[in-house]
C-alpha cells in the first residue's frame, strides 16, 4: 500500500512556547487542572489556577530526557523542565492519535540523562491514507485499553491482599490485636551477602545487588557475573534458597522479594531472610515488609545522604507482632489463590503486549 513520506518539520510544530509551565514544588495532589511532565505517570500533578491553561488540543508530549510520549486530548499545563509539546499541523491528512503511535514506535537512541529532542526532529514518517490511519488507531486503542485493564486488575489484586492483611492482623506498627512481639532476628535467620567486591566476568554466576530488585521483583537481565570460586565463597555464608526473602539494604531499601525460583546466584548489599522457625511463614513476613511498617522503619533507621542504607543489625532488631500460626496459614492460602488469579491475568497481559508490539511493527516498522 502506497504511503506518503514526510519529514518532522512538515507535519509537527513545537508549541511548547505557548504553554504555562508549573514548577514541581507547586504541584497539588488533586485539583481542577492536570499537569503533564516527562515522568512515567500520565498525570503527575494538578493546579487550581486557570490562568494560561493550554486548550488547543490534541497534542503529543515528549519527555526530552525520558523519551516518553503522551497523547493529550484535554486542557492542561506542562511541568517546568524537559517537556516538549508537539502539534500536528496537517490534521486533514494525518490523524493525531495515529501520529502519536507512530512516534512511540520510532527509534530514538538512549543517550542517558541528556536531551533527545534533536533525534525526534530528524525523523521521517511514511504515512498511510487517512482512513487506514483511523482504522489503525481503532485497533491499537482497543489493544491498549485491554492492556490497561489487565494492569489495573493486577493493581486491584495487590490492594486486596494488603486490605486482607490489615483485616486479619491489624496495623503492624500499632499492633491493635495485641500479638506477642519479637525481633525479626529472633524468629528468622537474617544474614547479608559479601562485603567484598568480586571481580566481574562476562559469564559465570549472577551477583544480585539492590539494583536487581525492582518493584518487589528479581530482575536478572542487567546483572554482573562472578566466578565459581567467588560464588562458592559467598554461598558458604549466605546461600539463597527458594522461599527466602531478599531485602535491599542500599538505595531502594524496603523493597523485598520472595525467591520463587531455584536460585543460582550470590548476593551483595542485600539482607537474606531465611525461615527455620515453624511458627513463622514467609508470606506473613513479606507482607509486613511491604506494609506501612517498613515506611515507618525507613524513616527511623535509614541512614546516609543521597545513597540511603539500612544496617543489618537494625534489620535484625525490627520488632514485629507474631500472630498464631493458624491465622498466618489462613492468610497464606488466601494469598496463594490471589497469586493464581494474578498469573492468569499476567499471561493474558503478556499475550496482549506481544500482540501490541507485533501490530506496531506491522503498521510502522
Reading the block at residue 214, the C-alpha cell is: 525492582
Where is average pLDDT lowest: 28-32, 82-86, 311-315, 329-333? 311-315
pLDDT in tens, 205-222: 999 998 999 889 999 888
pLDDT in tens, 305-330: 556 678 888 889 999 999 999 999 99
* pLDDT score recorded for residue 250: 81
pLDDT at site 17:
94
How confident is the prediction for the chain on average, in pLDDT? 92
For residues 269 and 248, the answer to whether their CB atoms sit within 8 Å is yes
- pLDDT band at 301; cut points 50, 70, 90: low
Do the domains 180-320 and 129-178+323-365 match in fold? Answer: no
**CATH no. of 180-320:** 3.90.220.20
Question: Distances from the Cα of 294 to the Cαs of 87, 168, 252, 287, 301, in angstroms?
Answer: 45, 18, 12, 10, 10
d(CA 236, CA 17): 61
**Running DSSP on this structure, what letter comes out for residue 271?**
E
Q: DSSP per residue over 294-356, as a string? A: HHHHHHHH-B-SSS-B--HHHHHT-EEEE--HHHHHHHHHHHHHHHHHHHHHHHHHHHHHHHH
CATH architecture classification, 129-178+323-365: Orthogonal Bundle (1.10)
Q: CA quadruple 243, 246, 252, 253: dihedral positive or negative?
A: positive
CATH architecture for the domain at 4-127: Alpha-Beta Complex (3.90)
Portion of the chain with pLDDT greater than 70, in percent: 96
Ordered by start, the domain boundaries in the chain are: 4-127, 129-178+323-365, 180-320
State the average pLDDT over residues 347-355: 98
Amino acid at each position: 500500500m502506497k504511503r506518503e513520506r514526510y519529514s518532522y518539520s512538515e507535519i509537527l510544530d513545537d508549541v511548547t512556547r505557548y504553554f504555562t509551565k508549573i514548577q514541581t514544588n507547586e504541584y497539588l495532589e488533586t485539583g481542577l487542572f492536570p499537569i503533564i511532565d516527562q515522568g512515567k505517570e500520565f498525570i503527575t500533578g494538578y493546579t487550581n489556577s486557570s490562568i494560561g491553561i493550554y486548550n488547543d488540543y490534541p497534542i503529543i508530549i515528549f519527555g526530552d530526557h525520558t523519551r516518553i510520549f503522551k497523547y493529550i486530548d484535554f486542557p492542561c499545563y506542562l511541568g517546568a523542565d524537559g517537556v516538549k509539546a508537539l502539534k500536528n499541523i496537517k490534521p486533514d491528512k494525518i490523524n493525531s492519535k495515529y501520529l502519536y503511535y507512530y512516534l512511540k514506535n520510532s527509534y530514538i537512541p538512549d543517550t542517558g540523562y541528556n536531551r533527545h529532542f534533536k533525534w525526534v526532529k530528524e525523523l521521517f514518517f511514511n504515512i498511510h491514507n487517512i482512513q487506514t490511519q483511523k482504522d489503525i488507531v481503532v485497533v491499537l486503542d482497543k489493544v491498549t485499553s485491554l492492556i490497561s485493564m489487565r494492569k489495573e486488575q493486577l493493581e486491584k489484586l495487590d490492594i486486596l491482599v494488603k486490605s486482607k492483611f490489615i483485616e486479619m492482623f491489624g496495623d503492624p506498627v500499632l499492633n491493635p490485636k495485641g500479638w506477642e512481639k519479637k525481633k525479626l532476628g529472633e524468629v528468622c535467620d537474617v544474614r547479608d551477602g559479601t562485603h567484598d567486591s568480586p571481580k566481574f566476568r562476562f559469564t559465570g554466576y549472577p551477583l544480585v545487588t539492590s539494583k536487581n530488585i525492582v518493584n518487589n521483583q528479581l530482575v536478572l537481565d542487567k546483572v554482573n557475573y562472578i566466578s565459581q570460586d567467588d560464588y562458592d565463597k559467598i554461598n558458604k555464608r549466605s546461600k539463597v534458597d527458594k522461599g527466602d526473602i531478599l531485602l535491599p539494604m542500599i538505595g531502594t531499601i524496603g523493597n523485598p522479594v520472595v525467591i520463587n525460583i531455584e536460585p543460582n546466584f550470590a548476593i551483595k548489599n542485600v539482607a537474606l531472610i531465611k525461615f527455620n522457625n515453624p511458627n513463622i511463614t514467609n508470606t506473613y513476613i513479606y507482607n509486613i515488609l511491604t506494609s506501612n511498617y517498613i515506611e515507618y522503619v525507613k524513616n527511623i533507621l535509614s541512614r546516609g545522604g543521597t545513597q540511603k542504607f539500612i544496617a543489618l543489625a537494625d534489620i535484625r532488631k525490627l520488632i514485629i507482632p507474631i500472630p498464631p500460626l493458624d491465622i498466618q496459614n489462613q492468610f497464606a492460602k488466601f494469598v496463594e489463590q490471589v497469586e493464581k488469579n494474578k498469573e492468569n491475568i499476567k499471561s493474558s497481559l503478556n499475550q496482549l503486549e506481544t500482540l501490541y508490539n507485533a501490530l506496531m511493527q506491522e503498521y510502522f516498522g
